[in-house]
Amino acid sequence: MFSLEGLTNFIHEWLNGHLPATFALLAEFVLVGVAAIGLFAVLGLGLVWMERKVAAVIQIRLGPNRIGPKGIFQTSADTVKLIMKESLTPANADKFLFNLAPFVVIIVAMLILVPIAFAKAFQIWDINIGVLYVTAVSSLSVIGILMAGWSSGNKYSLLGAMRSGAQIVSYELSAGLSIITIIVLTGSLKISDIVASQENGWWIFKAHIPAIIAFVIFIIAATAETNRAPFDLAEAESELTAGFHTEYGGMKFALFFLSEYINIFIVCAIGATLFLGGWMPFHVGHWAAFNHIMDYIPSSIWFFGKTIFLIFVIMWFRWTFPRLRVDQLLNLEWKYLLPISMFNVLLMTLVAIMGWHF
Question: Residue 292 or 325: which CB sits closer to another protein?
Answer: 325
Question: Residue 200 or 328: which CB sits closer to another protein?
Answer: 328
Report in angstroms how near the CB of residue 244 gets to another protein at its nearest.
Answer: 13
Report in angstroms how near the CB of residue 233 gets to another protein at its nearest.
Answer: 8
Residue type at position 121: A
Among 127, 315, 349, CA closest to 222: 315
Question: Residue 208 or 323: which CB sits closer to another protein?
Answer: 323
Report in angstroms how near the CB of residue 214 gets to another protein at its nearest.
Answer: 20
Footprint of another protein (CB under 8 A) = 22, 25-26, 55, 58-61, 94, 96-97, 127-129, 132-133, 135-137, 139-140, 142-143, 146-147, 150-151, 153, 155-156, 158-159, 161-162, 165-166, 169, 172, 187-189, 229-230, 232-233, 236-241, 318-328
117 DSSP β-pair partners: 123
Among 86, 92, 52, CA closest to 72: 52
Other C-beta atoms closer than 10 Å to the C-beta of 62 total 13
Residue type at position 132: L
Report in angstroms how near the CB of residue 175 gets to another protein at its nearest.
Answer: 12
Instruction: Determine the Cα angle at 339 with ends 335 and 344, to 5°.
Output: 150
If you compute the radius of gyration of the chain from its CA atoms, what whole number of angstroms results?
21
Residue 123 DSSP class: E
Report in angstroms how near the CB of residue 1 gets to another protein at its nearest.
Answer: 31
Question: Residue 19 or 297: which CB sits closer to another protein?
Answer: 19
Question: Residue 204 or 332: which CB sits closer to another protein?
Answer: 332
Question: Residue 8 or 188: which CB sits closer to another protein?
Answer: 188
Query: Cα 78 from chain centroid?
Result: 23
Spatial CB neighbours of 136, under 8 Å, sequence gap ≥ 6 = none
d(CA 247, CA 277): 41
Three-state SS string over 129-155 comes to CHHHHHHHHHCCHHHHHHHHHHHCCCH
Report in angstroms how near the CB of residue 107 gets to another protein at its nearest.
Answer: 11
Among 315, 264, 344, CA closest to 52: 315
Question: Residue 83 or 169: which CB sits closer to another protein?
Answer: 169
Report in angstroms how near the CB of residue 351 gets to another protein at its nearest.
Answer: 19
